[in-house]
Amino acid sequence: MFDKFKSMGEQLKLMQRLMQDKKFQAFLMNPKVQELLRDPEFQAIAQSKDIEKMKSHPKFAAMMKDPELLQAIQQLVMGSSK
């Protein structure tokens, strides 16, 4: 029973760290990311936590091919491993 709360606590800590990261903030403010996050269909998929459906969503798929956003994602991933 308490494992669920432990996992939720860890996720909350991760979100707090991400929200303080300037690169993550810049990524979230990107107009293309904002467009995806405002899409009602994508929001529903995100709430269902179905990763495969997220990856197959046309706007998400297009975002994953965008050189500017791929570079930003790469910087986020590399920055978080330091």
CA–CA dist 73, 66 (Å, integer)? 11
User: pLDDT (tens digit, 9 = 90+) per residue, 30-70?
Assistant: 999 999 999 999 999 999 988 899 999 999 999 889 999 99
Largest CA distance in the chain: 43
Q: What is the pTM of this model?
A: 0.67
Report the alpha-carbon angle 39-53-47, nearest 5: 60
Task: Tell me the domain boundaries of the chain.
Answer: 22-80
CA–CA dist 26, 33 (Å, integer)? 10
